[in-house]
Amino acid sequence: MKRHKKSVIAAAMAMLLLSACGKETLEDNFETLSSISAASLGTHIENAERYSENVSVKTASAEQTKKGNILIAYFSRWGNTEYPDDVDATTSASIVADGSKRYGTTEYAANFIKKTVGGDLHRIETVTPYTADFDELRDVNHSEMQQGFLPELKESGLDISAYDTVFIGYPVWATSVPQAVVSFMNKYDLSDKTVIPFCTHDGYGAGNSYREVAEASGAAITLDGIAIEAKDVPNAQEEIADWLKKIGIPVAARQTETDIHITIGDTVLDGVLYDTALADEIKAYFPLTISMVGYGGREYYGGVDFYPQNLEGGQKNFENGDITYCEAHHNMAIFYAQTDNPNLSVDVIPIGRVTSDLSFFENLSGSEKVTFSLAE
């Protein structure tokens, strides 16, 4: 078991400040927090920033990240909280609603990382869920921090040895890492990994959390993290992609792609499948022939007769060339035009892309048998 060194001063200060708040909402709590001790909190945040500037300014060398398998582990209140069935996703501070789906704020950011660099998502889940009541949760968190309590995590079958790079995502709680995330870092041996923290917050930044991740993970290398304010998370894809580039995780070299062929009539097009759990699942059905029809001058789609299980990472837009699976319509599609107007009414999950010239699709009959197969 690794030793976890908490920043006692930071935790105590955060506890003092947060427990001094008697207001109803999270926003009010943080307002009060800033007014009662803006100076001391400022010093604390400055210290944390200085630490982040001077100590953890690290980027990966190409060698370190080029061939690494990536895990994106994250903790969010959503998925770890006993919310009432009718919880209001639009006003709750910790739920992002995207179409009919709901995500934790940090979970949403984790999905952006996966979309950009591939890898596997892992939700950190405690055996005992947390309360939905913010004031109670704040008190529970304070007492967990004070006692150094490490909540038990659900068994997940995660094989950490399969990964070289581990992103660790969390909501900042009392300027620190939630204890459940400390549990994760204690449970798994990260000593030979490259660990990269990312967090969401309500305006006070990463606090002391990057230092805590570096210490508690005992990672061989810890790269610079990113802290995104919760209200900015739904539109943070570009910011996240810029950060990943800055810390040296090249977007283009991120995925191990599998070469495939897409055969339509006498024509064989080239493509790739991404290294994702869903693409792997669908690959098992190759060679896969689908009757596809043209739609809207932008895509060919057709139903499939299997029901994949790995359905993370849906999005309502596309890039030209995308090969996607759509859970709602239970079909696959190839998008070939109109990336300038990519708005979809349902989620699609990219599993690969066509790499041949897409103009071929413009002259098709409107109804085609399309066969996906592995390239020899």
- Residues of the shown chain interacting with ligand FMN in the complex, contacts defined by CB under 6 A: 14, 76-78, 93-94, 104-107, 134, 137-138, 141, 171-175, 200-204, 207, 230
Least distance in angstroms from the C-beta of 226 to ligand FMN? 13
Q: Which segments within 191-320 are labelled E, that is strand?
A: 194-201, 221-222, 226-229, 258-264, 267-273, 288-295, 299-303
CB 354 within 8 A of CB 336: yes
Query: What's the token pair of residue 236?
Result: 């943070």
Which CB atom, from 7 or from 200, has the smaller least distance to ligand FMN?
A: 200
Query: What's the token pair of residue 25?
Result: 């909402």
Least distance in angstroms from the C-beta of 151 to ligand FMN? 13
- The CA dihedral of 176, 94, 74, 149, to the nearest 10 degrees, is 50
Which CB atom, from 14 or from 60, has the smaller least distance to ligand FMN?
A: 14
Least distance in angstroms from the C-beta of 178 to ligand FMN? 8
Which CB atom, from 14 or from 240, has the smaller least distance to ligand FMN?
A: 14
Which CB atom, from 97 or from 221, has the smaller least distance to ligand FMN?
A: 97
Angle between helices 8-19 and 134-147 (to 10 degrees): 150
CB 327 within 8 A of CB 314: yes
Least distance in angstroms from the C-beta of 105 to ligand FMN? 3
CA distance 2 to 20: 33
Give the residues across from 261 on adjacent strands: 270, 373
CB 224 within 8 A of CB 35: no
Query: What's the token pair of residue 246?
Result: 């800055």
Which CB atom, from 64 or from 76, has the smaller least distance to ligand FMN?
A: 76
Least distance in angstroms from the C-beta of 133 to ligand FMN? 10
Least distance in angstroms from the C-beta of 278 to ligand FMN? 23
Least distance in angstroms from the C-beta of 315 to ligand FMN? 19
Question: Could you tell me the CA-to-CA distances from 121 to 108, 178, 340, 341 in Å, in that order?
Answer: 11, 19, 29, 29
Question: Could you tell me the CA-to-CA distances from 92 to 86, 230, 231, 300 in Å, in that order?
Answer: 11, 11, 11, 38
Least distance in angstroms from the C-beta of 298 to ligand FMN? 34
Which CB atom, from 181 or from 333, has the smaller least distance to ligand FMN?
A: 181
Which CB atom, from 240 or from 323, has the smaller least distance to ligand FMN?
A: 240
Least distance in angstroms from the C-beta of 18 to ligand FMN? 7
Which CB atom, from 169 or from 321, has the smaller least distance to ligand FMN?
A: 169
CA distance 364 to 349: 24
CB 212 within 8 A of CB 148: no
Which CB atom, from 121 or from 273, has the smaller least distance to ligand FMN?
A: 121
Rg (CA), the chain: 23
Question: Could you tell me the CA-to-CA distances from 370 to 42, 304, 320, 357 in Å, in that order?
Answer: 60, 12, 17, 16
Helix (H), strand (E) at residue 184:
helix 179-187
